[in-house]
Amino acid sequence: MKEPTTTTTARESESESDGHSLCKDIPNLLSSFVETFVDFSVSGLFLLPKHPPNPLSSSSSSSSSSPSSLPPLRTRYPPVDRLIALGDLHGDLDKTKQSLRLSGLIDASDRWVGGPTTLVQIGDVLDRGGDEIKILYFLEKLKREAAKYGGNVICMNGNHEIMNIEGDFRFATKEGLEEFRAWAHWYSIGNQMKALSQGLDKPCDPFHGIPFVFRGIKEDIVEGVRARIAALRPRGPLSVRFLSENVTVVVVGESVFVHGGLLPEHVSIGLERMNEEVRDWIRGELKGKLTRAPRYCRGRDAVVWLRNFSHESASKCDCSALEHVLSTIPGAKRMIMGHTIQQLGINSVCDDRAIRIDVGMSRGCINGLPEVLEIRGNSQPRILTSNPLYQNKYKSTSSDNPLVLLPEHGHAGPKPVQVKA
């Protein structure tokens, strides 16, 4: 019998090695398939999974308090050719898409067409509406699409993100709780599918430690409440995946973005430090294992709660404190914030150095007409609005129009048409 040649043996060995390698990849391929299946079932979107270090993995120590090994969140960006600032969304996916079309960032098929534009969403995606999870997924989709064209989507934490991570659901709606209940259903199915595959870590139960009964909570929403806790608490699947990637303060060119506002004591803590500590808290990695947010995210003077520069009357805004804060941030000329609904629409105080962009557009707020802030290069900001009453008055409805200065709040100007929520 003829002995196999060395070449044949080597080929067989290489083929066998390739087979072993393929077999080793099967569990990860299955995991990716399951995650894509769950994402589509929850959001209707296909998103290829990303696999950063996950504190929910059973191979991670639940008692670990070491700082995150992820790269630092970016806090400062150079000026960009075009920047769009989008206010509070509060669970209203339709208004979100209307605002993005108004900005020229998405087309009729919801695809990114904004090229190298930078979008900053100021926070408060959560509460008051029924499309909270869908918006989180949609913004993630846009992040990936924008990156292909040199664009950028920056998402921020608002006070309602902080509240929900802490388990404060006072502003959650019945529709919102149902959306989380449906998420938990599909997420659990995905975990069951993964558990059947050898070679994968056993999925952790996101409901571990969550009671089945809550005093004062009606039985018909208990499942939704449990699902919301499981998803959004520190180390929760949705809080880790989406909210831990949000920044709490960011500087783009001459503009400082923050949900509520910044005081001198916040700047002294350090903008980068605040972003890192909030991220680590959401991921369950903040030193000291705090269940509550860092101190600068709690209380009336918190960065996500402050209203010192958002009062309806311009004379009651603390312009001297604002000036001091901006002088301590290199290159900063203005602060852009959300949080406090501006019934007259986007406006400015303190000589255009404080710009308020929360127009209450969600149906869960005042159902305001969509508006966004646009900044081109180092030009003065202007407003893009869907309100025809502002045509050729205070606000610009076209990027081709000459600059229109922002109206000071309290000055004469048409009031947006509002529909009772």
Residues 283-310 have a mean pLDDT of 88
> How high is the pLDDT of residue 379?
87
pLDDT of 52-103, one tens digit each? 545 454 444 333 445 557 788 999 999 999 999 999 999 999 999 999 999 9
Q: What confidence category does residue 8 fall into, taking pLDDT thresholds of 50, 70 and 90?
A: low
> How high is the pLDDT of residue 7?
55
Angle, vertex CA 315, rays to CA 263 and CA 348, nearest 5: 70
pTM listed for this prediction:
0.85
* DSSP H or E run through 71: none
Per DSSP, the three-state class of 84 is: strand
Q: What confidence category does residue 394 fall into, taking pLDDT thresholds of 50, 70 and 90?
A: very low
pLDDT of 230-279, one tens digit each? 999 999 999 999 999 999 999 999 999 999 999 999 999 999 999 999 99
pLDDT of 170-215, one tens digit each? 999 999 999 999 999 999 999 988 888 777 778 889 999 999 989 8
> How high is the pLDDT of residue 64?
41
Which of 160, 266, 339, 409 is an active site residue?
160
How does DSSP assign 186-238, residue by residue? HHHHHHHHHHTSTTSPPPP-TTTT--S--TT--GGGHHHHHHHHHHHSTT-HH
pLDDT at 292 over 80: yes
Q: Rounded mean pLDDT of the chain?
A: 85
The number of CA neighbours under 13 Å toward the Cβ of 271 is 22
Q: What is the 3-state secondary structure (H, E, C) of 231-243?
A: HHCCCCHHHHHCH
> How high is the pLDDT of residue 20?
55
CA distance 160 to 112: 27
Question: Is 160 a known active-site residue?
Answer: yes
Q: What confidence category does residue 6 fall into, taking pLDDT thresholds of 50, 70 and 90?
A: low
The number of CA neighbours under 13 Å toward the Cβ of 263 is 14
